[in-house]
């Protein structure tokens, strides 16, 4: 490999939320951190070098976005996903979650409902409830092996409610790791169009796709779907630059673009930082080779976890994710309540994972593990879990 993904990196002076804010979510900071979705891997050197050049200029005032910034995003979309869009439909935003919150408020009325598919990234539920809208859930179906699919019968029943006017789709899906197939996306779109429900697609994970799978932007299906879909995306997960906090939104309808732009103006959050500007454009223009090698590394880490569980932890179940760098591990075989499992992971295994219940009641019994890290961190994490499970077995 041209790039190294097994370097040990000391993040103790990094003000890292992942390493030094665990005490806000867990019992202490003294746990093995494999939770929040950023990488314990260095950002691509091409981005680091571009940012170094910006630092050496020595001035960090207000910046504007050149045409090349949006062109980098549209060129990347066309090259990676064979989907061409007009750069004029794009707008920069502070981040995907702030975007979702603004859109829920702008695109729905107080008495309307917003649909999500559970278990799902927990801010989805928060942005709906915090904006005073009613939350509707279309629970995903899970087979005996832990593979998830969409309950389309239930989805249609929920979308048929005239009060449901907005659907937030997670594609690829966090935390279950599904990369939705074309026929699944087509059915989602058909139902949204049939019942006049606007679609917001959170596609922040679309670049991190495991071999043998293919992400399809739902807006690329056809013109009618495109006009009904607002797409959120960002290179922050792709290139480990989440702390730079910026993203893109695609608005096919000009009036909605203008409405969103006015809202950003009211909040006075319309500018990039000097560093996000440089990092985003450099990632999209120079980061592809790094990304391909990253995916190979992530796939290897996932295979290690799967092999470890199959050989040493038969009580657990796991499916290889089709996308993201997050593994959704089934601990139901331990027969614990959600409180007992959370305590077990923190006190006995001494590891910080995202509790499945955070993603919805139907996530209870699961833990989400972030494997975007050097292999030694994955090994240490699995060894800690094995040690705790061995101790648990003696109590049975």
Domain ranges for the chain: 17-44+288-389, 59-286
Supply the DSSP symbol for 211: T
Supply the DSSP symbol for 42: P
The tokens for 88 are 């004029």
pLDDT at 1: 86
pLDDT at 87: 97
Crossing angle (nearest 10°) for helices 274-286 and 45-57: 150
Domain 59-286 has CATH 3.40.640.10: yes
Give the CA dihedral 127, 185, 145, 323, nearest 10 degrees.
Answer: -70
**Whole-angstrom Cα distance, residue 11 to residue 281?**
26
Cα–Cα nearest to 148, from 173, 170, 125, 114: 173
**Whole-angstrom Cα distance, residue 70 to residue 66?**
8
Apex CA 249: angle with CA 262 and CA 229, to 5°? 105
Cα–Cα nearest to 351, from 16, 25, 3: 25
The answer to whether residues 261 and 93 touch, using CB atoms and an 8 Å cutoff, is: no
Supply the DSSP symbol for 23: G
**Whole-angstrom Cα distance, residue 29 to residue 229?**
41
pLDDT at 369: 98
Question: Can you list the residues of the chain whose pLDDT is less than 70?
Answer: none
The answer to whether residues 47 and 282 touch, using CB atoms and an 8 Å cutoff, is: yes
Cα–Cα nearest to 238, from 388, 393, 123, 76: 76
pLDDT at 396: 76
Query: What topology does CATH give the domain 17-44+288-389?
Result: 3.90.1150
């Amino acid at each position: 490999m041209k790039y190294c993904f097994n370097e040990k990196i000391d993040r103790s002076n990094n003000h890292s939320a992942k390493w030094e804010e665990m005490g806000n979510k867990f019992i202490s900071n003294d746990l093995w951190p494999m939770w929040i979705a950023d990488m314990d891997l260095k950002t691509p050197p091409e981005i680091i070098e571009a940012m170094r050049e910006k630092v050496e200029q020595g001035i960090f005032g207000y910046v504007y976005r050149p045409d090349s910034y949006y062109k980098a995003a549209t060129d990347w979309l066309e090259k990676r996903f064979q989907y061409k869009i007009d750069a004029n439909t794009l707008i920069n935003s502070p981040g995907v979650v702030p975007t979702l919150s603004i859109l829920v408020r702008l695109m729905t009325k107080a008495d309307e409902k917003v649909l999500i598919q559970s278990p799902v990234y927990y801010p989805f539920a928060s942005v709906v409830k915090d904006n005073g809208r009613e939350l509707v859930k279309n629970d995903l179906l899970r087979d005996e092996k832990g593979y998830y699919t969409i309950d389309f019968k239930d989805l249609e029943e929920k979308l048929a409610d005239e009060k449901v006017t907005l659907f937030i789709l997670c594609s690829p899906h966090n935390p279950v790791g599904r990369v939705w197939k074309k026929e699944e996306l087509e059915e989602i779109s058909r139902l949204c169009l049939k019942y006049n429900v606007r679609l917001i697609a959170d596609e922040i994970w679309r670049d991190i796709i495991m071999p043998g799978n293919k992400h399809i932007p739902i807006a690329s299906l056809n013109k009618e779907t495109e006009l009904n879909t607002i797409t959120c995306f960002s290179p922050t997960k792709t290139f480990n630059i989440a702390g730079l906090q910026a993203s893109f939104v695609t608005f096919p309808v000009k009036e909605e673009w203008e409405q969103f732009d006015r809202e950003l103006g009211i909040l006075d959050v319309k500018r990039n930082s000097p560093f996000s500007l440089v990092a985003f454009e450099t990632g999209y223009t120079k980061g592809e080779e790094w990304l391909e090698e990253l995916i190979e590394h992530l796939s290897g880490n996932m295979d290690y976890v799967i092999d470890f569980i199959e050989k040493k932890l038969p009580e657990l179940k796991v499916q290889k994710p089709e996308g993201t760098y997050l593994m959704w591990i089934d601990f139901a075989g331990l027969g614990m309540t959600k409180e007992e499992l959370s305590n077990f992971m923190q006190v006995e295994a001494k590891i910080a994972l995202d509790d499945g219940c955070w993603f919805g009641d139907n996530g209870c019994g699961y833990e989400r593990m972030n494997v975007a890290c050097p292999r030694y961190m994955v090994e240490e994490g699995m060894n800690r879990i094995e040690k705790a499970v061995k101790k648990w077995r003696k109590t049975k």
